[in-house]
Amino acid sequence: MAKPPTGFKTRLEPQDEYPHDPGDAGNYNESMYFNVFDPGKKTGGWFRIGNRPNENYAEISVCIYLPDGRVAFMFGRPAISGNTAMDAGGLKVDVVEPFKRLKVTYSGKALLLERPFEMADPKQAFRDNPTLPCTVDLDYEGVSPMYGGETVKEDGSPIEIDPEKSFAKAHYEQHCAARGVITVGEERFEIDGHGLRDKSWGPRHWQAIDWYRWCPMNFGRDFGMMLSVIGDGKGGARQGGMVFRDGVYDLISECVIDSDWDEHGYQTALRAKVKTEGGKAYEVTGQVVSLIPLRNRRTTPDGQTLQTRITEGMTEYRCGDLVGYGLSEYLDQIVDGQPTGRTAGY
């Protein structure tokens, strides 16, 4: 998230950890997202709940990367009424202390995929793979400052946005530590690792962004990064993110990501060159350990079908002599069968 332009400011308050008034936008979305990766057990996962109160449902996702390459996954659109809690479909987020401690729990089912690529065809994947009981019980601790918030006018008044072209009007992130237990069927994993969480709210269509590359990572409790490259829809890209080190965030001013691909067009490895506003330079490499392809489809009022692909890769990162873990999340619109970001050279 870049610094706001002249005449605007970024606002973030403790009450933003809780649900907001959704207003009248039909596509209002309020979501909280958490990931965690245990470097010792080579196990991790991410969890998202997105309330769409004006459409009377929530989007929930549970994705767990097991040490042997299998992925346990569940997605649902449970019905909700109003926007009073992040609690739907067995997935729940409790704010224990804003900006410091949160709890993520899940009790439900998960599809166990020995071949995660099969999720490219969800119907067949759910038909051909077993569904097992799954629980998540994780305590999150914020280890970094907060990054982001809501961009407003200098007088604090909101910015007018077009709901049909919006991805979110407010967004923040934080590097975290997380501990707890995940179970999939009879398997139990005690998790002690690090991750990143985010929250966003406002009108959202997944098709409002041409493409992006989002790479959160941790190299321990006191060193992490989030790399962000977002297509501007005009052939260019906005580069940003932050480096967490020495207890503070150093904003990224330049971020160039070069990716390797497999025959499906999914990322297998990446190399990133990063420069910060504080004058630091970093080179990071990433090797995808396990990847699951997801999608979102929407039909426009004129009958056009739009398809968004999001590939979620648990990734081993290296920066100098340090080894860390995190995610490489690549979002692309699929046009004529091709991902827009790769077509643009990213």
Q: How many helices, marked H, and strands, marked E, lie in the chain?
A: 2, 21
Q: Name the band, by pLDDT with cuts 50, 70 and 90, for residue 232.
A: confident
pTM: 0.91
Residues 312-338 have a mean pLDDT of 94
Q: Would you state the pLDDT for residue 334?
A: 85
36 pLDDT exceeds 60? yes
Of 58-67, 165-174, 184-193, which range is least confident? Answer: 165-174
| CA dist., res. 77 & res. 63, Å (int) | 15
Whether the predicted pLDDT of 72 surpasses 60 = yes
Q: What is the model's pLDDT at position 159?
A: 64
Residue with tokens 């097992």: 132
Amino acid at 124: Q
- CA torsion through residues 168, 172, 175, 179, sign: negative
Higher pLDDT, 199 or 25: 199
Q: Sort strands 322-335 and 211-218 into parallel, antiparallel or unpaired.
A: antiparallel
Phi, psi of 277 (to 5 degrees): -65, -25
Answer yes or no: are the C-beta atoms of 174 and 248 closer than 8 Å. Answer: no
> Percentage of residues in the chain with pLDDT exceeding 90?
77
224 pLDDT more than 60? yes
**pLDDT exceeds 70 at position 32:** yes
Q: Taking the mean position of all CA atoms in its chain, how far away is CA 254?
A: 21
Q: Over the stretch 204-215, which tens digit does the pLDDT of each residue have?
A: 666 678 899 999
User: Has residue 162 got a pLDDT over 60?
Assistant: no
Structure-model confidence comparison of residues 9 and 23, the more confident one: 23
Query: What is the residue extent of each domain of the chain?
Result: 18-204, 206-346
What percentage of the chain carries pLDDT values higher than 70?
Answer: 92
